[in-house]
Amino acid sequence: MSIARKAAGGSAAAPAPAAAPAPAPAAASELPEVLLEVRNLVRHYGSVRAVDNVDLTVRQGEVFALLGPSGSGKTTCLRMVAGLEPLDGGQILMGGRVLADASIGRSLPAERRNIAMVFQSYAIWPHMTVAGNVAFPLRMRGVRRARRRELVAEILEITGMRELIDRRANQLSGGQQQRVALARALVYRPQLLLLDEPLSNLDAKLRLQMRRELRRLNRELEVSMLFVTHDHDEAFALADRIAVLCDGQVQQVGTPAELYERPATPFVRDFLGRRVILSGRVDRSGGAARIRLEDPSLGQPWIDTAQDLSGFADGATVSVHTRPEDVEMTAPAEGATPGPNQVRATIISTAYLGNRIEYVADVGGRDTVLIGGRHHPPAAGAEVFLRLDPHVVTVWSR
């Protein structure tokens, strides 16, 4: 009886795990033109390198995320691109034009970069109306009053704020303030929109709405976006590509699927969600390399993987990883033993989460989070079998 479906959830990395085959890369001629280039970007505070030789490219029309924990350097990178933070090393180019070059001490002022930024706090002036806030950057650029009115009305229509044009900013909800900040940033049609944790101040429902809104604005206005977040769900939902940062360094750049299914480093693997972990050794005694599990309580000794294990020595100690949503949980018949790629586990506790049930199970002495469907859930103390899909199992040195 199948009682769960698929749902979500160190050490030096071995040869990069190869799960499902990657899609063929687009030919260079098929890729959009590169808009932003960041080359060997460096920023340090005393002896601390907040940004450590970061290289990035953002393509025309792309939504690109800088994802990482607090202190990873992502906001510092964003501020350097905006012209709000000096460079200690490297270059920033947009459309082939040099915005900043540390080697010659050049840095174009922020107001001359044709880049807009939405701050985490929104930075809305409370004494101004919606129209006044949105018109401000146009006024600073010397746009005539009649033209300002046209542009403000147009962008407020696009962002769904036209009816609130005369309302004061201190009378707006959080979601409305977010839209005003976006309208103000987009009113003069920048080449690049920067967003610092753009959805962190909104409740869950508004976050979902604003994700859709940002993607709509990206498509409708054809504006490239570079945004910072610590939330991988937000990055996955919004971004075409993501750079994962840790300690000021880029760990990996790729699409959400590439990062999740083929993490390049242990940090990326662990940062992007929960895992089911087993310990074992590489065994070639039967010819093809397999993983021999170390814990006899798991019920059977072998795990097979589609990953190429040629980079591991025979007998190498490894850890086997998979995501909870890739584990199939079944209730065994009385007296049954685990089959191929199955291991035995014991349910410790359950938590009802509405559309699914979250389990904590003892898997080889390790408390492991599993997720299953709502129907016929096993009770605490029940024995279950877990099948690991060999096509998504990854093997790492330990």
Give the amino acid at 196. Answer: D
The rounded distance, in Å, linking the Cα atoms of 383 and 230 is 37
Lowest mean pLDDT, pick from 72-76, 124-128, 184-188, 341-345: 124-128
Sorted by sequence, the CB contacts under 8 Å of residue 195 that are 6+ apart come out as: 117, 118, 214, 225, 226, 227, 228
Contact yes or no for 83/108 (Cβ under 8 A): yes
Judging by beta carbons within 10 Å of its beta carbon (0-12, 13-18, 19+), is residue 354 exposed, middle or buried?
exposed
Q: Where are the domains of the chain?
A: 34-270, 274-397
Judging by beta carbons within 10 Å of its beta carbon (0-12, 13-18, 19+), is residue 223 exposed, middle or buried?
buried
Digit-coded pLDDT (tens) for 354-396: 888 999 999 999 999 998 877 788 999 999 999 999 999 999 9
Strand-strand pairing, 192-196 and 115-118 = parallel
Give the 3-state secondary structure of residue 177: helix
Contact yes or no for 300/337 (Cβ under 8 A): yes
The rounded distance, in Å, linking the Cα atoms of 258 and 281 is 26
Judging by beta carbons within 10 Å of its beta carbon (0-12, 13-18, 19+), is residue 194 exposed, middle or buried?
buried
Greatest Cα-to-Cα distance within the chain, rounded to the nearest angstrom: 83
Confidence band for 7, pLDDT divided at 50, 70 and 90? very low
Check whether 23 has a pLDDT greater than 80. no
Which of 235, 247, 268 is closest to 17 using CA atoms? 268
The rounded distance, in Å, linking the Cα atoms of 184 and 244 is 29
Question: Do the two domains 34-270 and 274-397 of this chain adopt the same fold?
Answer: no
Confidence band for 24, pLDDT divided at 50, 70 and 90? very low
In the prediction, which pLDDT does 30 show? 59
Q: Which two tokens stand for residue 16?
A: 């990069």
Q: In what order do the strands lie in the sheet with 224-229?
A: 115-118, 192-196, 224-229, 63-67, 241-246, 249-254
Fold of 274-397: OB fold (Dihydrolipoamide Acetyltransferase, E2P) (2.40.50)
Average the pLDDT over 250-267 and give the result.
96
Give the 3-state secondary structure of residue 320: strand
Give the amino acid at 357. Answer: I
Task: Give the number of C-alpha atoms closer than 13 A to the C-alpha of residue 263, restricted to the C-beta side.
Answer: 25
CATH code of the domain occupying 34-270: 3.40.50.300
Residue written as token pair 């600073």: 140
**pTM for the complete prediction?**
0.85
Q: Which two tokens stand for residue 29?
A: 């001629």
Confidence band for 120, pLDDT divided at 50, 70 and 90? confident
How many CB atoms neighbour CB 76 within 10 A?
A: 23
